[in-house]
Amino acid sequence: MELPGAVPPPLESALYFAVSELLTNALKYSGAERVEVVARHDRAVLHARVVDDGRGGADPARGTGLHGIRRRLATFDGTVDITSPPGGPTAITMEIPCALSSPKTSSC
């Protein structure tokens, strides 16, 4: 992902660990053969989407991982949308407000 400026380290870290957690979940629980991660910055929002072709049924109420991701991103006014019907696929979309100003300075 190319950005016109730097992402503040706390926000970068939160998104990195959220995506890492989702990749771990896909490998451990979903039976997925394929996982796709797409990230972009558009209109002052960082977007990240993780989609796997596993069995679905991801439920934030059944564990701490997805709940932790929501809590971590909420610190930055971020949102997490989970679509995971039984039988799959699972698609998790994260959005975090982040207005980049220049390569040397940014504000989120």
Higher per-residue pLDDT: 62 or 17 = 17
Task: Answer yes or no: is pLDDT of 62 > 80.
Answer: yes
pTM of the model: 0.86
Helix (H) / strand (E) containing 1: none
Instruction: Give the CATH number of domain 9-102.
Output: 3.30.565.10
Token output for 104: 């040397």
Burial classification of residue 1, based on how many CB atoms lie within 10 Å of its CB (0-12 exposed, 13-18 middle, 19 or more buried): exposed
Token output for 75: 């610190």
- For helices 9-25 and 65-74, the axis angle rounded to 10 degrees is 160
Q: Contact, 45 vs 33, CB < 8 A? A: no
For the chain, give every domain's residue range: 9-102
The reported pLDDT for the residue numbered 42 is: 86
The reported pLDDT for the residue numbered 105 is: 47
Mean pLDDT of the chain: 88
Mean pLDDT of 47-67: 91
pLDDT above 70 covers what percent of the chain? 87
Task: Answer yes or no: is pLDDT of 50 > 70.
Answer: yes
β-pairing, 99-100 with 106-107?
antiparallel
Task: Answer yes or no: is pLDDT of 78 > 50.
Answer: yes
The reported pLDDT for the residue numbered 20 is: 96
- Please tell me the number of Cα atoms within 13 Å of 3 on its side-chain side: 23
